[in-house]
Amino acid sequence: MYLYMGNDQKRTAVTMIVWLCLLVAFLGCRLPVVGTEEDSGPFSTPFPSLNADALLSPNCSQLTLKLDFSTKVVKHEYIVAFNGYFTAKARSDFISSALRDVDAVNWRIVRRDNPASDYPSDFEVVEIRQDTRSSLLTLQDHPYIKRVTPQRMVLRSLKLTDTGTDGASPCNDTRWVQKWQSWQSSRPLRRTSLSLGSGFWHATGRHSSRRLLRAIPRHVAQILQADVLWQMGHTGSGVKVAVFDTGLSEKHPHFKNVKERTNWTNEKTLDDGLGHGTFVAGVIASMRECQGFAPDSELHIFRVFTNNQVSYTSWFLDAFNYAILKKIDVLNLSIGGPDFMDHPFVDKVWELTANKVIMVSAIGNDGPLYGTLNNPADQMDVIGVGGIDFEDNIARFSSRGMTTWELPGGYGRVKPDIVTYGSGVRGSGLKEGCRSLSGTSVASPVVAGAVTLLASTVLNRELVNPASMKQALIASARRLPGVNMFEQGHGKLDLLRAYQILNSYKPQASLSPSYIDLTECPYMWPYCSQPIYYGGMPTIVNVTILNGMGVTGRIVDKPIWQPYLPQNGDYVDVAVSYSPVLWPWAGYLAVSVSVAKKAASWEGIAQGHVMVTVASPAENDVSNTGEMTSTVKLPVKVKIVPTPPRSKRILWDQYHNLRYPPGYFPRDNLRMKNDPLDWNGDHIHTNFRDMYQHLRSMGYFVEVLGAPITCFDASQYGTLLMVDSEEEYFPEEITKLRRDIDNGLSLIVFSDWYNTSVMRKVKFYDENTRQWWMPDTGGANVPALNDLIAVWGMAFSDGLYEGDFTMADHDMYYASGCSIARFPEDGIVIAQTLKDQGLEVLKQETAVVENVPVLGLYQTPSEGGGRIALYGDSNCIDDSHRQKDCFWLLDALLQYTSYSMTPPSLTHSKNRVVPPTGTDRPLPQRLEGNHLYRYSKVLEAHLGDPKPRPLPACPHLSWAKPQPLNETRKKYKYYMKILKIRK
């Protein structure tokens, strides 16, 4: 009723329909009320508690629910993390002594009544209401206090999408759907849900697709052949598995070994009021109907969400500590988000796995876009799980792409680890019966149940740890044909093969991926998509080292590069960097592959391997002198081609792309309020993947610059491509680029919006810093770009425009782009009629602006000089929220910059205008008080305004001294050659 209160009779009629849906749903689906809380921030609008039955009743079957997580800070509350575990009295004494120094009186320790209260803890929740800043600084200075962070409230809510086609259902009223979606889209999300509600709350058999019914002849545990292990007497006995979710009713008929139910919320109940926790527990351990994998396992239920879908960081931390105390073996966590810098949460995950807790987590539901892996599933000590359907297709919703937290310096690592069924899987109903659910939060308990069952088959449980279990899963996984490793990881879960490997397992180190083959497509995409050549940027492959010998380890000496001489391995140069310490259970091995000078005009396959030896302290070695060692080989195979001509080589500037976290870098398309943060990496192999594929199909070679502009040889490249840059530029970069363009390098810039008034408008309250955040840049850092191109009399404006138009007979969409404010008078400028989106955002007014300059082409005057092309919007080549691609425009610009071919369709366009002089309005200035320097590689804090750091040295790879194999054969061939010459 709240939604329609005070409206006319027409909306009153809609209200009656909604209540009718509620009544029908109450008789059918029995899903309880789900409430939400109001977020802080200018985007936020309160929304009433709704009964979700209204959305999933028989008459509303075309509507699909998705669970979403968002967070907000709890006012005045802080999590004080200590350097160890202390009693409640000791923790209180530490905090009291710290705050006594600043005479803080208005503070208190928040009481936490839960099962962990009687045990030592490594954190406390403190409420501080006076002189907050000085109190926090004093707390952080205490020798026993590690970190002080804001307390967070986690909100899990329902998100509605209309999947109907005919609109006949009364519940498909577009105003209802749009109102719900509008409210949802106003919430800045952090940790997103990993469950999709399509069909979840439906009774058995209520599937809309007959094909889906045929595709699920048995329960998922039987499909994965768990019954084979059951017949051998393995049913999960003796393994403790924890489910962190919404609880479980005491007398649910599906479970016979619920060892403990604990409540970590502020509600006085242990029961599941929603059904999600029951479903997850059922996939793992149900003993009847929709049977789980490990029915005899010890089930530990952690109720960390209320019936209103609310949780707090401190609830999770207390529950995690209790899980460690109870020596939990396997823990399923079906939440996630892009924020790998949530320090208390990530630190506690590391501590869990270091204590041999095998954590299984869903990879996320943000597919099919690349660069969308969720945390904590993207951590190397966690088993990250993606989803497939029952026909072994990667589920469209499953997140994918390399881990983005190691960008922009180079490349990320392979995730998910494995994939399994996550679409239309059946699990236990709230009180009885079976229901279906889709999402990676379904795939996660499938793997958690399989892991629990597998652990129960191992006689020597000391061999089972987070690394050894992951090693068994990935070594046994079945490769899916036609799918790359950043979508499927190591492949589909194979329970029986994992059982065989685990039961013959000996502690060892292994690598993920276990080999590098740049000729194997499509699995080794993107590495296989482009051959390597002399003079190119080194190809970087980040490999994860898994250490099954112990929670900590080290690399012995240095990895060794051994080229295979008969297989032309001496044509390859290899550099290796690696983790100084492997902890917990894992580390990294970064392999840089380049082509030797002698192969500059050679074409063929070259091979070799990298040899790595890992050492770990021996278990139960009191003297700490004994070590276990394991040596592993990383085979390397590459395809080498002659160095392409300069005109075919494009250099992608990755160094100047920044992403959330840690800073607030907003999305480029301001219409996408439901996804306000730019967190996909802005890499050619994440959200610019389609553009990269297109350029390769056109015969271009694309390389990645992960260093300043001063660190590449411009004579090797035809075009430098800068897209959506947020970073500043060193003065030396500006000088060098001018010199490079004078000498023939060309430049293409795809910019985005930058308007300080709009930036202030899209601020939000950040839970990390407990303050209002304004963007540190706009969609792109236009003032920095203007500094870069000012020498040619060019600049972008602070205008913000949107709209559809036609250019060169192509339909185009301008999504929150800027305009060209200045351009040389002898250049070519194309203008369009667009809407003033800045005016719409700031004043909710609509205005159309004619002759907005959006595209500029310029030939520099120096002899042999390069060409410059500017375009004011990057959305048309970005996969994130692209509506209409403009790859044709990129082709035309590359024809211009690489081959001096000016497109006639642009030069003779009726939309060509006189280049703007930019004298009528000032150029955009940097937002006063912005915090870009905190995250920038270029800026540093300084009294007054930030200033550039000293220009860093260019990366210098230490090429491994090769230790060739088959040296004798090489000498033999040499002597034979000498003999032939003599003859």
Based on its alpha-carbon atoms, the radius of gyration of the chain, rounded to whole angstroms, reads 30
Please tell me the predicted confidence (pLDDT) of residue 525: 96
pLDDT of 625:
60
Phi/psi-derived region of residue 684, left when phi > 0, alpha when psi is between -120 and 50, beta in every other case: alpha
User: What confidence tens digit (pLDDT) does each residue in 329-361 have?
Assistant: 999 998 777 776 677 888 899 999 999 999 999
Q: Tell me, what's the pLDDT at 670?
A: 84
Of 441, 456, 630, 936, the catalytic one is 441
Span 874-896, mean pLDDT?
95
Start and end residues for every CATH 2.60.40.10 domain found in the chain: 510-619+626-640
Q: Which of 61-70, 639-648, 717-726 has the least mean pLDDT? A: 61-70
Catalytic site residue from 276, 300, 490, 609: 276
Q: Average model confidence (pLDDT) for the chain?
A: 83
691 vs 683: CA distance, rounded Å:
10
Q: Residue 551: helix, strand or coil by DSSP?
A: coil
Query: pLDDT band for position 599 (50/70/90)?
Result: very high
Beta bridge partners of 657: none
All CATH 3.40.50.200 domain ranges in the chain, comma separated: 222-503
Please give the Cα distance from 763 to 931 (Å, whole number): 13
* Distance, CA of 387 to CA of 21 (rounded, Å): 32
> Residue 105 has what pLDDT?
67
810 is catalytic: no
Q: How far is 459 from 751, CA to CA, in rounded Å?
A: 60
The residue among 21, 64, 60 whose CA lies nearest residue 163 is 64
Per DSSP, the residues of 378-391 read TSTTSEEEEEE-TT
288-292 own/partner pairs: CB under 8 Å, 24+ apart? 288/253, 288/254, 289/254, 289/428, 289/432, 289/433, 289/434, 290/219, 290/254, 290/426, 290/427, 290/428, 290/434, 291/219, 291/221, 291/222, 292/221, 292/254, 292/427, 292/428, 292/449
pLDDT value for 62: 30
User: How far is 638 from 571, CA to CA, in rounded Å?
Assistant: 10
Cβ atoms of 864 and 741 closer than 8 Å = no
Question: Residue 441 catalytic?
Answer: yes
Whose tokens are 């697709």? That residue is 209
Query: CATH says 222-503 is which class?
Result: alpha beta
Residue 245 known to be catalytic: yes
198: tokens are: 């399509």
Q: What is the pLDDT of residues 4-62, one digit of tens each?
A: 334 444 444 444 444 444 443 433 333 322 222 223 332 222 222 333 333 333 333 33
Q: What are 631's two structure tokens? A: 């040596």
pLDDT tens digit sequence for 735-753 = 999 999 999 999 999 999 9
Q: Residue 570 pLDDT more than 90?
A: yes
pLDDT digits (tens, 9 = 90+) for 952-969: 999 888 899 999 987 555
pLDDT at 178 over 80: no
Residue type at 766? D
863: number of Cβ within 10 Å:
8
The stretch 681-708 carries a mean pLDDT of 95
Q: Determine the average pLDDT of the residues in 554-576.
A: 96
pLDDT per residue as tens digits for the range 127-155: 987 666 777 888 888 999 998 888 877 76
| Catalytic residue chosen out of the listed positions 39, 68, 173, 245 | 245
**Residue 943: predicted pLDDT:** 65
879 C-beta neighbours (distance < 10 Å), count: 18
Tell me the pLDDT band of 67, cut-offs 50, 70 and 90. low
pLDDT in tens, 399-440: 999 988 776 456 889 999 999 999 999 999 999 999 998 989
Q: CATH classification of 646-941 is 3.40.30.10, yes or no?
A: no
- The Cα 820–Cα 806 span in angstroms is 18
Is 70 exceeded by the pLDDT of residue 475?
A: yes
- DSSP code of residue 714: G
Q: What is the pLDDT of residue 510?
A: 98
615-644: per-residue pLDDT in tens?
999 875 444 568 999 999 999 999 999 999
Q: Where in the chain is the domain with CATH 3.40.50.880?
A: 646-941
**What's the CATH code, domain 510-619+626-640?**
2.60.40.10
pLDDT of residue 368 exceeding 80, the answer is: yes
Query: Residue 345: its pLDDT value, please?
Result: 84
Q: Is the pLDDT of residue 898 over 80?
A: yes
Least confident among 372-376, 665-669, 712-716: 665-669
pLDDT score recorded for residue 881:
86
pLDDT at residue 69, as a whole number: 58
- Cα gap 729→408, rounded to integer Å: 15
Transcribe 884-928 into DSSP letters.
S--HHHHHHHHHHHHH----HHHHT-TTEEPPP---SSPPP-PPT
What integer pLDDT is reported at residue 409 of this predicted model? 53
pTM (2 d.p.): 0.84
Confidence of residue 837 (pLDDT cuts 50, 70, 90): very high
